């Protein structure tokens, strides 16, 4: 499903694609980011990471991402039953240049 709300967009001034701003203005008004409100499967949640970790745990590991002990991300991943653990090399990267 493509992102239907105008982000990312090509910036003529910057000469490259720009990413979303996390719906900064909506969040400042106490609203959820558009992607959270519009996700048809309700697969995205937004909030204070400490509260989300209380609710869902602390797992942020899945292949092909690097170990979360190295990157310390502010996200939680609930793995699909077919998800692979960090270090699993049976899959492939669509764009290996993005992973360093």
Mean pLDDT of 22-41: 91
Using the predicted structure, report yes or no on whether residue 4 has a pLDDT greater than 60.
no
7: pLDDT confidence band, cut at 50, 70 and 90? low
Domain residue extents for the chain: 1-46, 48-89
Cα angle 6-2-59, degrees, rounded to a multiple of 5: 105
SS3 (DSSP) at 45 = coil
The percent of residues in the chain predicted with pLDDT above 70, rounded, is: 89
Model pTM? Answer: 0.62
SS3 (DSSP) at 22 = coil
Tell me which residue has tokens 């996700």: 39
């Amino acid at each position: 499903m493509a992102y239907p709300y105008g982000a990312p967009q090509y910036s003529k001034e910057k000469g490259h694609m720009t990413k979303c701003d996390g719906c900064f203005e909506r969040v400042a008004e106490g609203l959820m980011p558009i992607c959270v409100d519009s996700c048809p499967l309700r697969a995205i949640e937004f909030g204070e990471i400490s509260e989300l970790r209380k609710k869902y745990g602390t797992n942020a590991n899945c292949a092909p991402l690097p170990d979360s002990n190295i990157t310390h991300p502010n996200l939680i991943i609930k793995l699909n039953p077919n998800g692979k653990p960090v270090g699993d090399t049976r899959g492939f990267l669509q764009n290996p240049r993005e992973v360093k």
